[in-house]
Amino acid sequence: MIRQIFADDLVFFKNIRLEALRSEPDAFCATLKDWQDLSDQQWLQYIERSTMLIAFEQGNPVGMMALFRETDTKRRHRASIKMVYLNKSQRGNGTASAMLNCLIDLARQQGVTHLDLKVNAANTSAVRFYQREKFEQVDYIAASMISNGEVIDDMLMSRHI
């Protein structure tokens, strides 16, 4: 089951976000410590500022994806997809596509016509997934982040919906 979450779902958001940062640290700019130190109010601000989906398997969160819409009047037709994570047990079974399609539907309802995202350029399976989902590379960000002394490049990808 995939559904949008709200303030009452804070525990699910915390669980899946911390799992993501723990198991895939090079996929995110933030660190596990950054998020462990947040207050509940700070966590809730992320839910309130975004359209956030969580995938559930037998009542447990197994994946997440968030849409952050631009706030400037001339850019409100654009949104960024962030905090994408899927538990390894759920990869390759269609859950990622289902989450993305649900997020696209919600984005369209908000008047969004263009989606952007950043992905670790070395994460070839994620890059291929986004390409299959009609995202195109529009930029390459060298040294986007440094994790444990390793330089990580990102690809900026975009799609019209």
Reported as a single tens digit per residue, the pLDDT across 19-37 is 999 999 988 999 999 999 9
Residue 148 has pLDDT above 90, yes or no: no
Give CA–CA dist 81/104, Å, rounded: 10
In a domain, 9, yes or no: yes
Task: Say what the pLDDT of residue 26 is.
Answer: 87
**146 confidence band (pLDDT: 50, 70, 90):** very high
Domain total of the chain: 1
Check if the beta carbon of residue 43 is closer than 8 Å to that of residue 61. Answer: no
Q: Is residue 128 part of a domain?
A: no
Q: Is 134 among the domain residues?
A: no
Task: Write out the H or E segment, with its range, that includes residue 36.
Answer: helix 32-36
Helix (H) or strand (E) holding 44, with range, is: helix 40-49
- Answer whether residue 140 is part of any domain: no
12 lies in a domain? Answer: yes
Domain of 71 in residue numbering reads as 2-113
Domain assignment of residue 68, yes or no: yes
**Is position 45 within any domain?**
yes
- Ramachandran angles phi, psi of 6, nearest 5°: -135, -175
Domain-located, residue 51: yes
* SS3 assignment, position 98: helix
The whole-number average pLDDT for the span 71-79 is 96
CATH number of domain containing 89: 3.40.630.30
pLDDT at position 106: 98
